[in-house]
A and B are shown apart, each in its own frame.
Chain A
């Protein structure tokens, strides 16, 4: 038996909206420590992982580890039936073929329950080691969103370089070129509005903007985002979900022939 109650149900809706376009059919691994997912997009160049900790839920029960095969598009449709202040409860039996979602209004005077059919999904799981990064940048998630959106109107790919000058995003296309450089800041009113750059070695990598733009769909989940760049390795873009967990995106770099 699995049962999880989330007072801030809108977080679940935002999480599914942040990942549903990259991965459609995914396995959620449920254990007594929480809910985990790892899934690659169809082309296998991008990976999405999330963790929702059991202690981030108002109530969490998982008697034995379960894998729930979920069509995220269908789950998103169901979550559209929930109100933005609803409390969401998820339930599944150990051998069941449905995930029950219950939406309770704030005043608990309206209750919706929906059964989502589960599926059997074969998925490839990758072992991602803890890496030493060449450069780690933390910035407001709205800033990241704006950079990748603005550069998408210039080109399809972006060069991201970290040097002691800062972190530079450059795009080139038919209409011209654009560079956006972020420098470290410390003057913002709130700590999360600052840009922090920790560089161990200069690094330059090229990525498809289409994916980086897609990662920005997680902006409503967190006020900050961390971008980890490592020489010759995928970029990691992390959004921490306060008191609940994280969603992380990985994207393979483009390589010169």
Chain B
């Protein structure tokens, strides 16, 4: 199963 990186969920501060 694929997994997105965390940058796909959280943006830059």
Contact = CB atoms under 8 A, between A and B. Distances in A.
By size class, the interface of chain A is 20 to 34
A44 interface: yes
By size class, the interface of chain B is 10 to 19
Interface string A121-132: 000111111000
A254 B6 contact: no
A125 B12 CA distance: 6
A223 to B, nearest CB: 28
B3 A127 contact: no
Contacts of A44: 5-7
Interface SS, B side: loop
Contact of B10 (A127, A208, A256): A127
A234 interface: yes
Interface in A75-125: 124-125
A252 B1 contact: no
A165 B11 CA distance: 34
A256 B6 CA distance: 17
A35 B10 CA distance: 22
Interface in A109-165: 124-129, 157
Interface of B: 1-13
Interface of A: 40, 43-47, 124-129, 157, 206, 208, 233-234, 250, 252-257
